Amino acid sequence: MPYFIIVLGTAGSGKTSLTSVLQTYLVSHQLDAITVNLDPAVESLPYKPDIDVRDYVDAREIMRKTGLGPNGSLIASIDMLITNISDLKEEIDSYRANYVILDTPGQMEIFAFRPTGPLVLESIVGDHKVAALFLTDITYATRPSSLFSALLLAASTHFRLKYPQVNVLTKIDLLPREEVEKILAMLGDPEQLVSGISSEHDLRLLWDPGDVEYIAEKLTIFETIPVSNTTGEGFDDLYASIQRIVAGGEDYYTEEPNPVL
Ligand SMILES: Nc1nc2c(ncn2[C@@H]2O[C@H](COP(=O)(O)OP(=O)(O)OP(=O)(O)O)[C@@H](O)[C@H]2O)c(=O)[nH]1
Ligand SMILES: [Mg+2]
């Protein structure tokens, strides 16, 4: 019974890099991990996917044949994938791997929010255990308001896909350590996050600070792991977190449907 790890996040947040680094990490820990590229439009990958959605649908070919733009052809590709999803699933099953890492496309809204994206994931995953990783590029989350907005996006993905989810802050190698610590401190203390938001002088918020605080408390319940795909920092913590979700026993799902929330 494989465990599925779904790598989600905004464009350029490091999904593909993390997929590659995580596979190497798992394999180096004697775990059999395979990668699935679910991006029909990707041109080059830093890893060789064991299973490639481009063998099933070709976004470029669809673009050429239909005259659709890049987004339109990506939507059409994901829609078409539904028709041969059982073949893709069979190919995944044939590996009998411990872990299956799914690398999703950059335009996450197409994949996570349109009906067919979640349906593709649901069909692949079936009743296996899943950990969803929602990636945010930490360099875009340094302002308290942008951190809050990243948390909203992460939460909305969780509500759409409904998998146990860990939030991952990527590219921590690009910030001074103190700045990373400051961001983690805000995530550990919603009051700090809200006072940070309130002190941004160019802020014109329609929401009441009390409401922001209430929501910040809910949003910061998600576990957050800081990582660097470049240096490999944080992957021990990320693996431990994934383990807690997928191998945490039946109780994890039955008694606490979602302990990350
Ligand atoms: N410094 C640094 N760069 C990173 C890290 N992770 C990814 N990158 C770089 O960020 C860029 C985007 O990384 P990808 O892994 O392609 O991101 P992605 O989310 O798969 O991108 P899309 O699929 O296009 O949405 C690349 O230039 C990577 O080399 C990291 O942890 N640190
Ligand atoms: Mg990618």
Question: What 3-state DSSP class applies to 51?
Answer: strand
Angstrom distance (rounded) from CA 111 to CA 3: 20
Angstrom distance (rounded) from CA 155 to CA 134: 9
Query: Are the beta carbons of 124 and 102 closer than 8 angstroms?
Result: yes
Find the 124 Cα to ligand 1 centroid distance in Å. Answer: 25
Q: Is the pLDDT of residue 251 over 60?
A: no
Confidence at residue 163, expressed as pLDDT on a 0 to 100 scale: 96
| 182-212 residue pLDDT tens | 999 999 999 999 999 999 877 788 888 889 9
| 215-241 residue pLDDT tens | 999 999 999 999 999 999 999 999 999
Find the 219 Cα to ligand 1 centroid distance in Å. Answer: 25
Tell me the mean pLDDT in the region 95-110.
Answer: 92
Confidence at residue 129, expressed as pLDDT on a 0 to 100 scale: 96
The backbone region for 62, taken as left when phi is positive above 0, alpha when psi lies in -120 to 50, beta otherwise, is alpha
Q: For atom 32 of ligand 1, which residue has the closest CA?
A: 171
C-alpha pair distances (Å), 3 with each of 29, 92, 201, 218, 250? 15, 12, 46, 27, 13
| 40-92 residue pLDDT tens | 989 899 999 999 999 999 888 899 999 999 889 989 999 999 999 999 999 99
Q: Is the pLDDT of residue 137 over 60?
A: yes
Confidence at residue 71, expressed as pLDDT on a 0 to 100 scale: 87
Q: Best mutation site among 8, 16, 104, 233 for ligand 1, i.e. most ligand atoms within 8 A of its Cβ?
A: 16
Residue 253 burial (CB count, 10 A): 14
Angstrom distance (rounded) from CA 242 to CA 86: 26
Find the 153 Cα to ligand 1 centroid distance in Å. Answer: 18
Confidence at residue 259, expressed as pLDDT on a 0 to 100 scale: 43
Q: Best mutation site among 7, 15, 16, 17 for ligand 1, i.e. most ligand atoms within 8 A of its Cβ?
A: 17
Q: Which atom of ligand 1 is nearest to the CA of 103?
A: 20
| 160-181 residue pLDDT tens | 999 999 999 999 999 999 999 9
What superfamily would CATH give domain 3-254?
P-loop containing nucleotide triphosphate hydrolases (3.40.50.300)
Q: For atom 11 of ligand 1, which residue has the closest CA?
A: 12
> Where in the chain are the domains?
3-254
Q: For atom 4 of ligand 1, which residue has the closest CA?
A: 171
pTM over 0.85: yes
Confidence at residue 249, expressed as pLDDT on a 0 to 100 scale: 52
C-alpha pair distances (Å), 2 with each of 25, 70, 174? 17, 33, 34
Residues near ligand 1 (Cβ within 6 A): 9, 11-17, 39, 106, 170-171, 173-174, 228-230
Angstrom distance (rounded) from CA 141 to CA 227: 14
Ligand nearest to the CA of 12: 1
**Residue 258 binned pLDDT confidence (cut-offs 50, 70, 90):** very low
Confidence at residue 245, expressed as pLDDT on a 0 to 100 scale: 95
Confidence at residue 83, expressed as pLDDT on a 0 to 100 scale: 92
Ligand nearest to the CA of 13: 1
Four-residue CA torsion sign, 7, 10, 13, 17: positive
Find the 5 Cα to ligand 2 centroid distance in Å. Answer: 15
